[in-house]
Structure 1
Amino acid sequence: MSIANIPVINFDAERNDEVIKELYEIKSNLPKELRCKDYILENGQIWTSWTVRESVYRKKYASFPTMARGLFTQVTNDDQQYIVARGYDKFFNILETGFTQWPALFKDTEGPYEITAKENGCIIFIAALTPAEVVVTSKHAIPAVKTDPTAHGGVGYNWLLRHLSLVGKTEKDLAEWLYDKRITLIAELCDDEFEQHILPYTGKDRGLYLHGINYNTHDLNTLPASTVQQVAIDFGFHTIDYHLFDNISQVKEFGENMQQIGLYKEREVEGVVVRFTNAMLESKDGDVRIIEPKKTLKLNYEKTQYYIEWLRKRVVSNPDWFKNYKAQKGIIFVRQEFEKFWNEGKISEE
């Protein structure tokens, strides 16, 4: 069992039931904004996954009973609805919405503040199916076969078993603890052999990075980074680095400094690297070409325009680099080649 101290909270089963039933009502009235899908699990349990249209979180958040992004629910035989796995509330970048403008953050929030590194992979949820078995999901889906090596949840489950074995734990050890505490583990799956994103994860850096623990409640009840780190150690996960600040001014200074240097504690992290628009690239019958956008791209970083122009030329001069780009392979190599080009000051020569 974990040695981390997990507080006991009031789950308010009645309110959770009301929220889920309200979601069903919203889905009936607004099927384009809220969808759900049932998954039949290996022991016959049915879990329902909820997906909210992205724009809803910005424009209609006040009309929805929960802001959870990644939510799985279940109904009991007596028609009682409850939450079985829960992600974070939808969050936004600084300056992206009214409530993430600095004046609003200064006015409406209070310390202490936790700054955590965001690893660059895909989000994975780990929750209890029974006191002896776990379910590993992506944000909205559960694989039909829990060990499926082509599905995010399947790869996550296989990595979970490897992490547990490193510390002498079993699936049952984790499932029993999750079931008792009624919580969901949130991890980042980072494995270049399965899927590349922007930052490289090879060798011993591959695997699951535990970065959150949420109670299975309609409102977000998430545990502090210190507890998350301890649980990660207990169960063999990769840990996430974090930093504590007393006030919002320190957070603002830290964020602005990181944006300037593009690094978090001397390493790249998601959100400060340049991204290429994957939709502009087409690979068909061995030929690779750029598809010009029908409308002007909205670019937030000046460097992105240089990146796109450089890529247009590389698709012609080095098409082999992009043969498997749409299958999430070669992405990191291409970005690193651009960074070499940029750092050597060759942009002005082309």
Structure 2
Amino acid sequence: MADAATAPMSPEEKHRMRELLSTMHKLSKELPASKRIVRQTAYEVAGQRLVSWKSNEYLYKRDPCPLPTRARGLFTGGPEGDETIVARGYDKFFNIGEVARTKWDWIETHTRGPYELSVKEDGYLILAAGIDEGRTLLVTSKHAVNVPQSEAALAWAQRHLAQVGRSAEELAGFLHENSATAVFELCDDEFEESILEYPDRTRGLYLHGIIRNSVDQAMWPSAEVTRVAERFGFHATQYFTFDSAAEGRTFADQVRRDHALDGRAIEGFVVRCQTAADERPFMFKIKFDSYMLFHEWRDMTNYVVANKSFRTRYALTEQYAAWVREQLKANPEAFDQFKENKGIIAARKRFIEYYLAHDNGCAEEVYEPTKVALRVLLMPVATIGCGKTTVALALSALFGVGHVQSDGAMAKKKPNGTFHGAVLRALENHTFVFADRTNYMAEVRQSLTADIHDKLPGCRIVALYWPHDRASEDTLLAAAAAHSDPCGEEYRGVVRSQLRRFEPLDLESISDGLVDEVIELDPLADAATNLQAAVDGLCALFPGALQPPSPADVARALETALQQKPTLHMNVGGQS
């Protein structure tokens, strides 16, 4: 076992921990609330006050990441100023191709082995640690304590421990002694179904990893994690080791083609390795399309039952949706249990049986599903004066992006519907369409994204986001004024009003939940910088559809955009 993961906490580690938590407290109290990138929630456990820390999901993708820690799931305890980390999850990691650092060519060039591929079990992420000097076992979900998932996990922990003659206190003492957090997946169809099926003997807690309760991510080797699982009676997570990334990729591809590993379907793999430059731990995941298709069906069923918009990535989902609607007509109570996460697996099996028997169904479409034709809505989230129209015009010149301005599309009656209709018509003829409106209010974003997904469920939505968390109102106002000629008091008043009413993007909220990706731009940067950031972001997200242009092409597109002087309309439905 690596000494760094199990040695007593050093004075330097304790100092770094205090510095981190001081920064977290400062960021969580930032005013106004729209500038907060860190939030905290307090819990009372065994007479102790614990704090759970959470950040907006899209921030993990920002490069460089602005968060003081990338730990996803972080709990601290003790008085402010002398707190310690009592439980932490893995640093946020991404699926293959999801970010630049999880593309295969980057991985093969910038990481080194050994590559440990552990099975990605399909359940709830659970953290366990020892508090109260190791006398009490803390069991949490990803971010919360005393919720149904953590309570079910605690009950399972007690069952596992009892089977090998151990107690919760013994596990708590072990984790406290080693300053460590155990990371589990809770897989229990009787509690709540997820996507994949877990028969009786396979239900329970799968020990996936053990992490040191420190600022830096220090993980125990998988072999030692397996020994701990056996010692305390938990399910061990199966893993495989390869010397090269290419070998690991070949193995994962074979499992995907086989549609099973040792006779059972799996979600994919979590891969552990090291960065080649500094040998720091590096993780990524390989999720199979068949699993993601089934996941889409589960989510979509809930939306159809509730008569809400849903997103579609796979062509077969439309047929599944039609089948669900027919089932609801014949038996309105057919999916009543879905809201309790019951009946998910049975419904999927019924549809696949129906599809293969009645619709000239092809099994390959279930296990190697075809994705829908690419359509992408580019939705700015900004305030006026940031240069969004310049970016839109330049992207149009570079890539043929459709450009719909709210000014030109609006009608006096039902302006939102008119604008949305114009965007949908543009998506009929363009792969990418820029919906040129500030969309600075969450309600307006929700209306647009829901309408687009309702009419075009397969459309990807990318937010081009000019955030306000790194500058003051006066600084942002000055930057907006610099972009306008002439700039009068009426203009300044409109800008100031929008700045004060600006609602930050939050992908975990209902309003922004349909946004797929975020490209961050800078309200204080010049047009050339923001255009290049947008181009780089889009080419990275859609490498098959967009080829990176030359610097000369980008410069010409920007010049073309700047020569077009759009007329400023400052009050179009409240969203210029």
Cα deviation, 1:28-80, whole Å, max 9, x if unaligned, reads 336553211011112x2111001111111112552212110000012347x22
Q: Which of 127, 142, 159 is the equivalent residue of 1:125? A: 127
Q: Which amino acid aligns with 2:320?
A: Y
Measured at CA, do residues 50 and 252 of structure 1 come closer, stay the same or move farther in structure 2, by a change above 3 Å?
same
Q: Which of 334, 340, 343 is the equivalent residue of 1:321? A: 334
Q: Which whole-Å CA distance do the structure 2 matches of 1:15 and 1:177 have between them?
A: 24
Cα drift, residue 97 of structure 1:
0.6
Measured at CA, do residues 136 and 101 of structure 1 come closer, stay the same or move farther in structure 2, by a change above 3 Å?
same
Is the contact made by 1:21 and 1:81 (CA closer than 8 Å) also made in structure 2? no
Q: Which amino acid aligns with 2:37?
A: E
Q: Which whole-Å CA distance do the structure 1 matches of 2:336 and 2:315 have between them?
A: 27
Cα drift, residue 280 of structure 1:
5.4
Question: Match of 1:346?
Answer: 358
Is the contact made by 1:4 and 1:231 (CA closer than 8 Å) also made in structure 2? no
SS of structure 2 residue aligned to 1:84: strand
Is the contact made by 2:300 and 2:321 (CA closer than 8 Å) also made in structure 1? no
Residue identity (%): 34
Q: Which amino acid aligns with 1:156?
A: A
Cα drift, residue 307 of structure 1:
2.7
Cα drift, residue 318 of structure 1:
4.3
Is the contact made by 1:188 and 1:208 (CA closer than 8 Å) also made in structure 2? yes
Question: Match of 2:20?
Answer: 19
**TM-score, normalization by structure 2:** 0.54
Could you tell me which runs of 5 or more consecutive residues in structure 1 were left unpaired when the two chains were aligned: 144-149, 283-287
1:85-100 matches, cutoff 5 A: 85-100=87-102
Q: Which amino acid aligns with 1:305?
A: E
Is the contact made by 1:321 and 1:330 (CA closer than 8 Å) also made in structure 2? no
Question: Match of 1:174?
Answer: 171
Is the contact made by 1:278 and 1:326 (CA closer than 8 Å) also made in structure 2? no
Question: Match of 1:8?
Answer: 7
Q: What is the total number of aligned residue pairs between the two structures?
A: 330
Which 10-residue stretch deviates more, 92-101 or 313-322? 313-322
Cα deviation, 1:168-194, whole Å, max 9, x if unaligned, reads 111221111111101001111111121
Higher relative contact order (CA 8 A, sep 6+): 1
Q: Which whole-Å CA distance do the structure 1 matches of 2:105 and 2:339 have between them?
A: 41
Q: Which whole-Å CA distance do the structure 2 matches of 1:261 and 1:305 have between them?
A: 25
Cα drift, residue 112 of structure 1:
0.3
Is the contact made by 1:123 and 1:189 (CA closer than 8 Å) also made in structure 2? yes
Question: Match of 2:78?
Answer: 75
Q: Which of 252, 256, 266 is the equivalent residue of 2:253? A: 256
Question: Match of 2:62?
Answer: 59
Measured at CA, do residues 109 and 329 of structure 1 come closer, stay the same or move farther in structure 2, by a change above 3 Å?
same
Q: Which of 37, 53, 59 is the equivalent residue of 1:33? A: 37
Could you tell me which runs of 5 or more consecutive residues in structure 2 were left unpaired when the two chains were aligned: 268-286, 362-576
1:1-350 matches, cutoff 5 A: 7-8=6-7, 11=10, 12-29=13-30, 32-42=36-46, 44-59=47-62, 62-76=65-79, 79-130=81-132, 131-143=134-146, 151-270=148-267, 271-272=287-288, 273=291, 274-275=294-295, 276=297, 278=299, 281=302, 289=305, 291=307, 293=309, 297-299=311-313, 301-342=314-355, 344-348=356-360
Larger Rg: 2
Q: CA RMSD in A?
A: 2.4
Q: Which whole-Å CA distance do the structure 1 matches of 2:29 and 2:73 have between them?
A: 19
Cα drift, residue 319 of structure 1:
3.7
Which 10-residue stretch deviates more, 265-274 or 209-218? 265-274
Cα drift, residue 234 of structure 1:
0.3
Is the contact made by 2:130 and 2:176 (CA closer than 8 Å) also made in structure 1? yes
Measured at CA, do residues 340 and 280 of structure 1 come closer, stay the same or move farther in structure 2, by a change above 3 Å?
closer
Cα deviation, 1:252-282, whole Å, max 9, x if unaligned, reads 2123333333323332112432221535536
Q: Which whole-Å CA distance do the structure 2 matches of 1:161 and 1:313 have between them?
A: 44
SS of structure 2 residue aligned to 1:110: strand
| More helix by percentage | 2
**TM-score, normalization by structure 1:** 0.87
Q: Which whole-Å CA distance do the structure 2 matches of 1:115 and 1:75 have between them?
A: 36
SS of structure 2 residue aligned to 1:162: helix
Measured at CA, do residues 292 and 83 of structure 1 come closer, stay the same or move farther in structure 2, by a change above 3 Å?
closer
Q: Which whole-Å CA distance do the structure 1 matches of 2:79 and 2:176 have between them?
A: 16
Measured at CA, do residues 70 and 345 of structure 1 come closer, stay the same or move farther in structure 2, by a change above 3 Å?
same
Q: Which whole-Å CA distance do the structure 1 matches of 2:324 and 2:227 have between them?
A: 43
Question: Match of 2:496?
Answer: none
